Structure 1
């Protein structure tokens, strides 16, 4: 049986790529889109979008009420993404969320809602399988090389900093890394922010430039040595295999899973 899918954020670069991916898969069916404008139109009415007779809704609740769907994919921004995901769970539609920037409180609220309704949900800070491997390698390395900094680089239209991937990487390393403050104890920033953000002594630096997509380096150092673990997404096709995997797995869950690494075999 085909998986019936709703996508929020169809005009974004990720949304457009996801529409093409869903349309190309024989067992997936795109049944509606949610957009903050263009309500009442079809995808085929919007310049630059595929020539498909798929309805667009501005009101997400109306969409969930009227459309028979199995999976909801959110590729929007944190504020609307959180509200969309709550509604999808309330209507028994399994969310796959690529929107980053949710707070710990928001994730906790979605976890409770997912468990209460027994509806699977996957939130993935990064859908690229290579990025997930990078995070897992960094987690292993941090046990032996606890002096570490993260540099994440994204396109200049990204709204949150640091990225969800960087935050997730730091959290995973904290599971194995000995907590410590890094650098000279008398270190002083002569320009505020020069050392980046800090969590548990790990410094995170965010770069935003046109031409970038999604890139991250984890730099680890020890006496006389250094280790760099790096991942690059050169275009948004790199995220589609992860989204496909989430679509296949999410309906088998009865709770929220945070991070693609938790559903890899």
Structure 2
């Protein structure tokens, strides 16, 4: 049985992870860390079994609870410090917090090697979203002009989403014509969205949304749309469980759930 500490346990994703652990016989909730409802029993708050009080200090929680795994769903502002705390304590981690850069990943590879720990970082844990990205990469071999529209709830702080950035990276790996001359006049700056190697990315933030992304490909006389919708945060939990299960089978840092799946 793996003992899991959830960092960001009172966030919307953190709560779903706590519920996932409660459902699985091979997982045990070792600890819960958050800045909300401190000293409250998270089991009671979520109507679950067990008694685990919410703590505020991740380092102290690790020392006290000795978890096998830390699952982090916090914020981009603190995620790197959280990861450093976890890995330096010798605990493997699964991270769903976005905002981690390529430079951050390079630094984490060094830290993971020094601490002999493993970490899986995923912009998106929904299996359908992973398939959407893979199908987009396939399509980009034949239709190399595309744009990405990602839509999330209004509490999401970073834009574009990690999923959109990862999708753009996959598309740009295979498309032939990355640089397209565009004679565009933006009457409002940013109207055409952000751009990554000639691929435009648009971000929408509205209440009522969860996590959605559409990739639109254009060719002569045709378009192709590939879309994924997460309408409930429970859709991410099979991917979180997959990552927890695969931690001991990897070496160091893995970025993207696609690297744990066979296509």
Give the Å deviation of 1:140. Answer: 1.3
Q: Deviations over 1:183-242 (max 9, x none)?
A: x63211111111000000000000111111000000011111111111010100110000
* Partner of residue 4, structure 2: 5
* Partner of residue 14, structure 2: 15
The question of whether the paired residues in 2 share the 8 Å contact of 1:119 and 1:251 is answered with no
The question of whether the paired residues in 2 share the 8 Å contact of 1:11 and 1:49 is answered with no
SS at match of 1:53: coil
* Partner of residue 62, structure 1: 60
Q: 2:79 aligns with which of 78, 81, 92?
A: 81
Hey, what's the Cα distance between the residues in 2 that align with 1:247 and 1:200? 34
Q: TM-score scaled by structure 2?
A: 0.95
| Runs of 4+ with >6 A deviation | none
SS at match of 1:240: helix
The question of whether the paired residues in 1 share the 8 Å contact of 2:168 and 2:199 is answered with yes
Structure 2: gaps of 5 or more residues: none
Give the Å deviation of 1:51. Answer: 5.3
The question of whether the paired residues in 2 share the 8 Å contact of 1:100 and 1:164 is answered with yes
The question of whether the paired residues in 2 share the 8 Å contact of 1:43 and 1:51 is answered with no
Hey, what's the Cα distance between the residues in 2 that align with 1:111 and 1:42? 35
Give the Å deviation of 1:181. Answer: 3.2
Give the Å deviation of 1:115. Answer: 2.1
Give the Å deviation of 1:156. Answer: 0.6
Q: Deviations over 1:85-137 (max 9, x none)?
A: 11111111111001011122222211221122221110000000010011011
Between the two proteins, the alignment pairs up a number of residues equal to 262
* Partner of residue 121, structure 2: 123
Alignment of 1:68-217 (within 5 A): 68-182=66-180, 185-217=182-214
Structure 1: gaps of 5 or more residues: none
Give the Å deviation of 1:48. Answer: 4.6
Greater alpha carbon shift after TM alignment, 18-27 vs 111-120: 111-120
Give the Å deviation of 1:69. Answer: 1.1
Greater alpha carbon shift after TM alignment, 63-72 vs 152-161: 63-72
Q: TM-score scaled by structure 1?
A: 0.94
SS at match of 2:174: coil
Q: 2:244 aligns with which of 232, 247, 257?
A: 247
Greater alpha carbon shift after TM alignment, 240-249 vs 102-111: 102-111
